[in-house]
Amino acid sequence: MKRPPEIRINQFQLAVLLNDEQKNFFDAVVAGNVFCAHCGDVCNSGITIEEVFLTDLNDIHVKGTCNTCNGKVARLIEFGEDQEFYNKAMDFRKSIQN
C-alpha cells in the first residue's frame, strides 16, 4: 500500500483526531517526556508546541521549543499502529483534500 504524505495539521485538527485517552497520552508526553539535546535531559518544564505533523505512518510528529532552555525539540508520538486511529487519520486525510 502506498504511504500517504506527511502533512502539517493545526491544533484543532489534532483535537479532532485524538480521542480522550489519546489526548491525555499526548499531553503527558508533551508535558514531561520529550528529550532535549541542549539540556541533555527531558524537558522538565514541558515544551511549547510550534508545529504538529501527521506522518506517512499516521504517527504524530511534534516540533517545538524546550520551556527550560528554549532549544528546538521534536518528538514522534506513535499512534499509527492503532488501527482505529490509522483509519480515522485516513478518513481525515480524505476530508481535507476536498
Asked whether position 71 contacts Zn ion by CB under 5 A, the answer is yes
Task: Using the rule CB under 5 A, give the single segment among 2-10, 26-34, 64-72, 81-89 that binds Zn ion.
Answer: 64-72
Interaction between residue 69 and Zn ion (CB under 5 A): yes
Within positions 9 to 48, which residues make up the interface with Zn ion, using CB under 5 A? 36, 38-39
Residues 63 and 14: beta-carbon distance below 8 Å: no
Closer CB to Zn ion, residue 38 or residue 63?
38
How far apart, in whole angstroms, are the C-alpha atoms of residue 86 and residue 93? Answer: 11
Q: What does the alpha-carbon distance between residue 57 and residue 73 come to, in Å, rounded to a whole number? A: 20
